[in-house]
Amino acid sequence: HTELFMIRGMTHAILSPTNLTSDFGEKHIRVNSFKELSYLHPKYFSPQKDILNQLPISEGGKYIVLRINAFDSTHDFGISGFTHHECRKLIHELKRYGKIFISSEKPMPEDLREYLLNTPKERIHDVLSYAELLIADTGTMVTEAALLGTPAICHHPKARKIGNFIELEKEYGLIFTYEDSKKLIEKAIEILNRKDIKKEWDDRKRKLIEEKVDMNLFMVWFIENFPTSIHISQKDLSYQKRFL
């Protein structure tokens, strides 16, 4: 509460996506977008297919990415993600549908190290773009996968209370959220058995892109026209349509 008071007192405006469930008062300006679109909007990012040459998969082979969070940040206090046992269970159930790659922030036991993703970290969005499915216990990469048109399943206890996840799941059908690992596996198998899943998700992604503000264009306008932009933003949200 002290930090929020300081933010309100020291800043002229607090910008966030419209789907943020918190309300920061009269200085709060909501933008109809996702922060991840500032770098993953099709205007600024095009996946590079040469990444497939760096993955140990056969030509035309399918793969699944399993993302493991370290949960070592202050906002992660009291939260835990996939256990090593659950990782083994996921691999056992899903390896028949494609190669499994683990992207992990924490050390993996010896028997799981063979699945570790070894591509350069800066190429992770290329990896996600061509993946058949992402399963993760962390938030950002789930949103990124959705905006890239890749089906994503989030295993996080707070996922159904977080605005961007709610919107991506309920409004666009791009992600799914589960606390129960058994139900998660059932949904993963259902997705992996569907035909033309990537095309279906690409269509859903395109719908989202068409309806969302280009965050970069908005921020340039907001800064160049500051502080007038604050008053315009607070008065009428329809002005944001110019940045679609």
CA distance 111 to 175: 29
Q: Are 150 and 131 in contact (CB under 8 A)?
A: yes
pLDDT at residue 179 in the model: 85
pLDDT (tens place) for every residue of the chain, 244 residues total? 444 544 556 788 889 999 988 888 888 899 999 999 999 999 999 999 999 999 988 877 899 999 997 554 444 444 556 788 889 999 999 999 999 999 988 888 999 999 999 999 999 999 999 999 999 988 889 999 999 999 999 987 665 678 888 999 999 999 999 988 889 999 999 999 998 899 999 999 999 999 999 999 999 999 999 999 998 988 777 888 888 7
Which residues are within 8 A (CB) of 184 and not within 5 positions of it... i.e. 6 or more apart? Answer: 135, 153, 155, 178
